[in-house]
Amino acid sequence: METSLSRGRPGLSRRTALSGALALGTALLGGGLSACAGRGAGSPDGQAELGWIQPKTGRLASAYAPTFIGAQLALQEINAAGGLLGAAIQVHEEDDEGSPATQSTVAQRLLSARPDFVVGPTGSSQAVASVTALARGNAIQSAWGGADILGDGNRFPAHYQLVFNTSRQGAAAARFLFETRGIRRIGLLTENSEFGKSMQESFTRTLRDRYRTELAGVQVFEPNAPDMAPYLNQLARAGGEGLGMFSGQPQAAVLSLRAMANSGFAPVIVAHDLNYIDAYNEIPVELLRNFYGTAYRSLTYPKGSAPSGPALEYATKIRTQAGQLAFSAANSPYYDFLKLLAVVVEQERTTDPERLRAALNGVRGYQGVRAPISFTATDHCGIGDDAIAIATLLSAKDETSAGGIFRELAS
């Protein structure tokens, strides 16, 4: 059965809001997610349950917290509109400590609880470990990880990737450096992780296959590296004039820019992550002017213009909750995942996982707040090439950016 949602974002339900649903959503926004016992796949008692994998402890707890704000907003809106099939969604929360090593244990607990759906974890290494461990269950899951494997519908038929994957992101970054900026000596700095490995493959493959160009240098660092200077010094010695810089670690970009400022190495940079603009106040503006990043096209605007469209309303909701990490919160896939899921559940009138997977595999052109979303049975990466843009870092300081959520398109 093909499910076409290309006519926009239909309403969730014609049902009246349940008593207490809005109160539950408000509690979620305040961080009061309550765990409860599972009811089994397909929710035979009619009340859907959502597994929630988020680091509440560990070194990434504060950095990753904003990535779940969109999920909290979606729960509030869905429950306020009557929930799923007339009942508020219940939440079963698990702390993964932000580590790939905990995912097997977390998955065991979730497999026992048997939620209908799962959001999280955040981070490609965490996501691959989680999706692999949960594959023997029935829950429909969406984690935030860019590794290509997470969008493979054959390998992970119950996981849906609502972010642009590393193949698309690496290709966009390489195109910008080679075509738009005309740079020929390009280096790569990436972390030793599932995301980093996948980005290295994509970035290298695009330069080699499309432009017959080899990288001037490659440096791979451990995610907890305390100093980026040794890696950047090697890239400077290799003569790199452009640099792909890809890491999911919040501190990596700060440490890298600090090392560049100290050494005088000033390449044109395209990065994965432009979240932490306030952390760059110590960095010379001249260096930041050549700092760009991948972004969702709907969260960008042309020079001399201003943001517009449905994403602007979403950004207003996000901004009040996320503070200086609003860009990270707005880019999270969890809001779009839960809102799309709600539409499909109401359309199919069931939470049966097999029927919902069939319906999701037929989604074409559902208009999410960040990008149009489409799936097939084999391609579960819902974000296409046209949704990716390259944007400037410094525009996050502009009033037009709505607190850094929107970025000016690179020229």
153 vs 298: CA distance, rounded Å: 26
Shared-domain flag, residues 225 and 280:
yes
Shared-domain flag, residues 354 and 245:
no
143 vs 165: CA distance, rounded Å: 12
Residue 355 belongs to some domain of the structure: yes
Q: Which range, of 81-90, 109-118, 139-148, 322-331, averages the lowest pLDDT?
A: 322-331
Shared-domain flag, residues 33 and 129:
yes
Beta bridge partners of 269: 243, 291
Shared-domain flag, residues 62 and 131:
yes
For the segment 253-268, the average pLDDT, to the nearest whole number, is 94
Q: How confident is the model at residue 293 (pLDDT cuts 50, 70, 90)?
A: very high
Residue 261 amino acid letter: A
Q: Quick one: the chain helix, strand, coil %, rounded to 5?
A: 45, 15, 40
The domain of 50 spans: 21-144+334-369
Structure tokens at 249: 């670690």
Residue 116 amino acid letter: D
Shared-domain flag, residues 198 and 244:
yes
For the segment 250-258, the average pLDDT, to the nearest whole number, is 87
For the segment 385-398, the average pLDDT, to the nearest whole number, is 91
Which value, in Å, is the radius of gyration of the alpha carbons in the chain? 21
Shared-domain flag, residues 97 and 126:
yes
Residue 2 belongs to some domain of the structure: no
Residue 154 belongs to some domain of the structure: no
Residue 161 belongs to some domain of the structure: no
407 vs 391: CA distance, rounded Å: 6
How buried is 359 (Cβ within 10 angstroms: 0-12 exposed, 13-18 middle, 19+ buried)?
A: buried
Longest dimension (CA), the chain: 65
Shared-domain flag, residues 300 and 403:
yes
- The gap from C-alpha 391 to its chain's centroid, in whole angstroms, comes to 17
Shared-domain flag, residues 212 and 277:
yes
307 vs 335: CA distance, rounded Å: 20
pLDDT above 90: residue 15: no
Shared-domain flag, residues 184 and 270:
yes
Which helix (H) or strand (E) is 285 found in, with range?
helix 285-288
Shared-domain flag, residues 175 and 283:
yes
Residue 261 belongs to some domain of the structure: yes
Residue 130 belongs to some domain of the structure: yes
Nearest Cα to 164, choosing from 396, 336, 18? 336
Shared-domain flag, residues 180 and 298:
yes
pLDDT of residue 80: 96
pLDDT of residue 96: 97
Q: Which range, of 98-107, 190-199, 348-357, averages the lowest pLDDT?
A: 190-199
pLDDT above 80: residue 261: yes
pLDDT of residue 396: 87
pLDDT above 60: residue 6: no
Q: How confident is the model at residue 249 (pLDDT cuts 50, 70, 90)?
A: confident
CB count in 10 Å sphere of residue 211: 15
Q: How confident is the model at residue 43 (pLDDT cuts 50, 70, 90)?
A: low
DSSP state of 33: P
Residue 314 belongs to some domain of the structure: no
pLDDT above 90: residue 9: no
Q: How confident is the model at residue 222 (pLDDT cuts 50, 70, 90)?
A: very high
pLDDT of residue 8: 35
Q: How confident is the model at residue 20 (pLDDT cuts 50, 70, 90)?
A: very low
Residue 289: CATH number of its domain: 3.40.50.2300
For the segment 316-338, the average pLDDT, to the nearest whole number, is 87
Q: For 26-42, how does the pLDDT look when each residue is reduced to its tens digit (9 = 90+)?
A: 333 333 343 333 444 45
pLDDT of residue 32: 39
pLDDT of residue 291: 93
Q: Which range, of 220-234, 246-260, 290-304, averages the lowest pLDDT?
A: 246-260
Q: What percent of the chain has pLDDT over 90?
A: 68
What mean pLDDT value characterizes the chain?
Answer: 86
pLDDT above 70: residue 53: yes
Q: What is the pTM of this model?
A: 0.84
CB count in 10 Å sphere of residue 337: 27
Residue 54 belongs to some domain of the structure: yes
Is residue 250 left, alpha or beta, with left meaning phi > 0 and alpha meaning psi from -120 to 50? alpha
pLDDT above 60: residue 388: yes
In the chain, how many domains are there?
2
pLDDT of residue 383: 95
Q: What is the 3-state secondary structure (H, E, C) of 104-165?
A: HHHHHHHHHHCCCEEEEEECHHHHHHHHHHHCCCCCEEEEECCCHHHHECCCCCCECECCCC
pLDDT above 80: residue 392: yes
More confident residue, 130 or 24: 130
294 vs 169: CA distance, rounded Å: 7
Instruction: Decide if 351 contacts 343 (C-beta within 8 A).
Output: no
More confident residue, 300 or 17: 300
104 vs 94: CA distance, rounded Å: 12
160 vs 153: CA distance, rounded Å: 8
pLDDT above 60: residue 163: yes
pLDDT of residue 273: 64
Is residue 14 left, alpha or beta, with left meaning phi > 0 and alpha meaning psi from -120 to 50? alpha
Shared-domain flag, residues 293 and 189:
yes
153 vs 159: CA distance, rounded Å: 7
Nearest Cα to 328, choosing from 131, 99, 86, 69? 69
